[in-house]
Structure 1
Amino acid sequence: MSDIDDKIVLKHNESLASSNLSDHDEINEKSEKSEKSIKEFLFLDKPFYRYGFINLLNFYIFLITISSTCNGYDGSMLNGLQIVETWEKNILRNNLGALSNGTTFGGFFAMLFASYISDKFGRKIALAVGAILIIIGAVLQGASYNYGFFLAARFVIGMGSGIAVASSPSLISEIAYPTHRDICTALYNSCWYLGALIAAWVTYGTHFMTTDYAWKIPSYLQGILPLFQLALLYWVPESPRFLIRKGKIDKAKAILRKWHTGNDYSDRATALVEFEAGEIQAALALEDSQAHSSYMDFLRLPSYRKRLFLVVFTAFFMQLSGNGLVSYYLNKVLDTIGITDANSQLKINGYLMLYNLVISWFTNSMVHFFKRRTLFLASLSGMLVCYIIWTILSARFAIGGYQDQSLAKGVLAFIFLFYFCYNAGCNGAPFLYVTEILPYSHRAKGLNLFSGLNNLFIIYNGFVNPVAMDAIEWKYYIVYCCILACEVVIVYFFYVETATYSTLEEISAAFGDDPDHIVANSPEKVVFEHKETV
């Protein structure tokens, strides 16, 4: 750390207005009591599915996750459209990479104002704006008659998706029942496969058509899920955090009481509502006290440079571990093993997305049972083994003149095994990990960087992968074998384990910090002061 350290002094707003809690033992004792308190307040004595208000809340959370289906639908639809002759003849006359990344370009543009809309007007308004833009983009996409029109429509879709995605994870974490937050957050990204599954079977059903409707119908249907989301969005609860930020404390407490206690007015239920509202006010006070935080801190401070490295590399292995080949260019991968029939390729795409959806839902629902670093190592090591065998089988199949169908089936089996390993550690866990390693004052900035880096690596997938696959075919797999091997080594030597720490100050200590950025999990109102010492 530098000679100038940021010190956050915790003060009670009422009875301790003149006292500073600067002693670390006292802070840790306060945190432990707070954690114990929240557990005491939770009063669900039966399985969660036996509570009607929890079931309805989880349905609304599922409704929010529809935002993540857009990109999944998009990638799977493009996989299918590359096999549709009328689309290739009328639309795909130029660079496939630009079309693949059309939505990514729109997402980059949306980053300029997505967080502003969410913070200024609310999470629900941002979701509504995003859904409307996706619907408009889908209509324009279906009405396209040339490459430029189709690309522009995809830009609009990406812009809408970028606005919706910027708000969706926040809203989920801010309205979910306290003990369900980690699973709900992890499951958010797994719904990518729900969109992919729908697109896979829609394109399979329409590819038999000989008219432009073979690609127009899937294009129009990209707006169906956002339309469903928009139709029911009115009943989704707004973020209590946003409401408290706007001074609507009573309204926020009413939402917490309705969705976390089932409108129970017992002393225990009231204690939970007051605790959560107080916790939000404490977090907002900390946020205000850290308004001076800057992106430059990620370069200026040693511990933040390490965090920045972990954010960058987590985005890297999430997108550039070979998964981009199958996600957007499955047809080219299948061509290398002799599966060139359009009907067979579309069926495989549909089965793969169904398989991925089930596996990702299962693995992400179990994420709290495993350590983060251990999960990453197991996932990446499994992917590496699968890719090596996949490459060997592809090479033998090509050298043998594309005749041995048992080798082709072996490659197909390892594609499915590869995705089991990917979904186990690289689908939902990265979002949890990045959130955990970032202190509260820099969390929004770090997540914004994480999102931008994901889009940047997706652009690489869109432009480089199809060119490389056309040029060197199966030999391109060797590149990903090397990348995966490096990823395993880097995670093993440089990644910090976060699952073993229960409080934010403990995680900060793992990076060599003093307990600077403390989240005050106190049921009492607190204020945070910033002091700078030389």
Structure 2
Amino acid sequence: MSYTPLPRDSKNPIRGRVIDENSSASVTREGIVDYALEDVLPDSEEAWYLKPQLRRLNFFSLFALLSSASSGFDGSMLNGLQSIPSWSLYFDGLSGWRLGILTCSSALGGICGSLPGHYLADTYGRRVPTALGALIVILGTLIQASSRTYEAFFCGRFIMGAGAVLTSIVSPLYISELAYPTHRTILTSIYSNTWYVGSVLAALITLFCYQTGESSNWSWRGPSLLQCFFPILQLSLYRFVPESPRYLISKGRSQEARDILVKFHAEGDLNSILVEFEMAQITIAIENESSASNTSWLEFFATRANKHRLFVISFLACMQQLSGNALISYYLVLILGSIGYTSAVEQLWINVSLNVYNLGVCAFVLYCVHRFRRRIMFLTCTTGMFFVFVTWTVLSAKFQQGNYESTLLSKAILTMVFLFFMCYDLGLNGLPYLYYTEVLPFFLRSKGLQIVQCWQQVISVFNGLINPVAMDALHWRYYIVYCCIIGVEIVVVYLFFPETRGFTLEQAADVFGDGVRRGGAGGDVDNAIGDGV
């Protein structure tokens, strides 16, 4: 793995450092890496959107962001289909176990799709697996939209789930490893937030298809077919987007990585000190980890710090799926029916409103993510969900005691649904994927994201099979289970989740105290963003 340091001269000033113009000394790799990020950032007041290559770089992040939007389309569409009578009738009635199996079919496929995820990411980079996943999603979507039997619909969703999870493993890596340093926090947070871009589009399309062809099979085939939209956009971007510099350096292709960083991070400035800083930091991090990178998955159990990492990412993955959100995301129709909203059009409009609302909340969270510490956001999120769910449970009990006749209680419960997602979005939508990439060093990053996806798909299978049956049997009493789960989450976050705000991607691993070399003096990277990303 080659590295050629840049000569230190007056053309390469490091902000706040005195450089001797007559000195022939070099800015050594070990020397430059000990600067803080704010010392090597270009001293320019020009906004990023006025820089052509930086505009292109941020536009290319769509290649990865569309993976999340595609997943959001699926979740919202399936929710909407449950409100369309012709969909259930076509497959001879869908409820209980039959509905649950169909709902978790994509998660079952996702488990299979997650297995080769880290191998493909580490062997072929970030672009190829993302494009492959998009192709698989398109294949599954076509089978789903044209299905004539329950089994065919199941197979289509199974295949689609495998492709969706493969892209979900690789896409966050791509964003975090390619983004401009001060944009990484925002762009990685946007990844999960684009889930609601897909969900809003799906909700609107499902409503439109139902209203224009209520009794036609195209009321559900139409939304199913249009699920191809986001993966097709991904494939159209494939040949234009650059590869991850970190992946290229790990494969000994340092010059290619430098060229990408010079082009997109330095606007073509071959003497950019920022590029030298990034090259040095990435190279040292990968060299320090290279011996460990050749080991097995047992590396997660090799040190106390890695065990801590494994616990944190596994628990956070479960939090994302097991906090009650999946109950609403995939079975909103059951909840609405239990509180008196039984009209298909009414349910579809509520689905649209909820997704638009979530998209707005996520936009607000983007404003918060680089202004507040990660732990504060996680704790605020879980504490808020706990109090909302407890209130929701109490209101549901009173609604049942009143023979489901109180319109006021019905509206109050619906309000709790919206308040719950406000709390959930604060800490468990956009923030986790930022956190995953921060707590995992390079050689564990793709493996860690694969573990995350495996956990999420396993929990999704549980949600798909158990939630509809439990809702039918226990009604509001089932909410008590989620109150207890969220209560445990608050305790675990407080005791075991370290703070990672204020570090570059290579520095953040040091918060686990395992002696990983910190590539620099630290510095508050988030504050370096300012207010203008």
Q: TM-score under structure 1 normalisation?
A: 0.86
More off after superposition, 281-290 vs 464-473: 281-290
Q: Identify the match of residue 135 of structure 1 among 138, 151, 175.
A: 138
Say which is worse superposed, 429-438 or 193-202, in terms of deviation.
429-438
In the TM superposition, residue 373 of structure 1 has moved relative to its aligned partner by 1.6
**Offset at 1:214?**
0.8
Take 1:328 and 1:426, find their aligned partners in 2: how far apart are those partners?
Answer: 17
Partner of 1:7: none
SS of equivalent to 1:366: helix
Distance 1:340 1:490, change over 3 A: same
Question: Which residue identity does 1:132 align to in structure 2?
Answer: L
CA distance in 2, matches of 1:462, 1:42: 50
Alignment of 1:501-520 (within 5 A): 508=510, 511=512, 513-515=513-515, 517-518=516-517, 520=519
Q: Within the alignment, does 1:253 sit opposite 2:255 as a pair?
A: no
Map 1:30-429 to 2 at 5 A: 34-36=34-36, 39-91=39-91, 95-208=98-211, 209=213, 210-265=215-270, 267=271, 269=272, 271-299=273-301, 301-429=303-431
Deviation at 1:249, TM superposition (A): 3.2
Distance 2:424 2:497 in 1: 18
**Do the aligned partners of residues 297 and 263 (structure 1) sit closer, same or farther apart at CA in structure 2, a change above 3 Å counting?**
closer
Offset at 1:212? 0.8
- Length-normalised TM-score, structure 2: 0.86
Q: How does 1:17-28 map to 2 (within 5 A)?
A: none
- SS of the counterpart of 2:297? coil
Q: Aligned partners of 1:431, 1:132: CA distance in 2, in Å?
A: 23
Residue identity in the other structure for 1:164: T
Give a deviation string over 1:441-467, Cα, whole Å, max 9, x none.
433333322221111111111111111
Shift of 1:307: 3.0
Shift of 1:348: 0.6
Distance in 1 separating the partners of 2:54 and 2:161? 32
CA contact (8 A) 2:379 2:490 kept: yes
Identity of aligned residues (%): 39
Structure 2 counterpart SS, 1:259: helix
Which residue is 1:474 aligned to?
476
Q: For residue 429 of structure 2, what is the amino acid of its counterpart?
A: N
The alpha carbon displacement at 1:14 in A equals: 9.2
SS at 2:364's partner residue?
Answer: helix
Partner of 2:11: none
Taking the aligned partners of 2:199 and 2:390, their CA distance within structure 1 comes to: 26
**Conserved in 1, the CA contact under 8 Å of 2:32 and 2:277?**
no
Please state how far the C-alpha of 1:77 moved relative to its aligned partner.
0.8
Residue 286 of structure 1 aligns to which amino acid in structure 2?
N
Whether contact under 8 Å (2:169, 2:449) holds in the other structure is: no
Could you tell me how far apart the structure 2 residues matched to 1:481 and 1:502 are? Answer: 36
Q: Which letter maps to 2:222?
A: I
Aligned-CA RMSD value = 2.7
Aligned-partner SS, 1:395: helix
Q: How far off is 1:292 after superposition?
A: 4.7
Secondary structure, in 3 states, of the residue corresponding to 2:293? coil
Equivalent-residue separation in structure 2 for 1:300 and 1:229 (angstroms) = 38
Instruction: Write the distance in 1 (CA, Å) between the matches of 2:248 and 2:188.
Output: 21
Q: How many residues align?
A: 493
CA gap 1:303/1:57 in 2 versus in 1, 3 angstroms: closer
Cα displacement string for residues 266-322 of structure 1 (whole angstroms, at most 9, x for unaligned residues): x3x3x2223323333323323322235443344454443333322222122221111
Cα shift at 1:190: 1.0
- Alpha-carbon spacing, 1:237–1:297, altered in 2? closer, same or farther (3 Å): closer
Contact kept, 8 Å, 1:282 with 1:521, in 2: the verdict is no
CA distance in 2, matches of 1:313, 1:138: 31
- Residues 96 and 125 (structure 1), Cα distance of their counterparts in 2 relative to 1, 3 Å cut: same
After superposition, the C-alpha distances for 1:38-75 in whole angstroms (9 at most, x for unaligned) are: 63243442222232322222121133200112221111
User: Aligned runs of 1:416-495 on 2, under 5 Å?
Assistant: 416-495=418-497
* Superposed CA offset, 1:160-198 (max 9, x none): 112222221111112211111111111111111111111
SS across alignment from 1:238? coil
The alpha-carbon deviation at position 507 of structure 1 amounts to 5.8
CA shift for structure 1 position 500? 6.5
Q: 1:219 to 1:386 in 2, by over 3 A?
A: same
Stretch moving more, 62-71 or 79-88: 62-71
Distance 1:502 1:257 in 2: 19
AA aligned opposite 1:359? V
- CA change 1:491–1:239 in 2 (3 A) is closer
1:19 aligned residue: none
Query: Tell me, what secondary structure is at the counterpart of 1:416?
Result: helix
Pair 97,432 (structure 1): closer, same or farther in 2 beyond 3 Å: same
Amino acid at match of 1:77: M
Measured at CA, do residues 348 and 399 of structure 1 come closer, stay the same or move farther in structure 2, by a change above 3 Å?
same
**CA-to-aligned-CA distance 1:241-263 (integer Å, 9 cap, x gap):** 23334444333222212211222
For the residues of structure 2 that align with 1:260 and 1:441, how far apart are their CA atoms?
Answer: 24
CA contact (8 A) 2:382 2:486 kept: yes
| Conserved? CA contact 1:74–1:199, under 8 Å | yes
Amino acid at match of 1:339: Y
Contact 1:381 1:488 in 2 (8 A): yes
Dislocated runs of 4+, deviation >4 Å: 12-15, 29-33, 500-508, 519-522
Structure 1: runs of 5 or more not aligned: 1-11, 16-28, 523-534
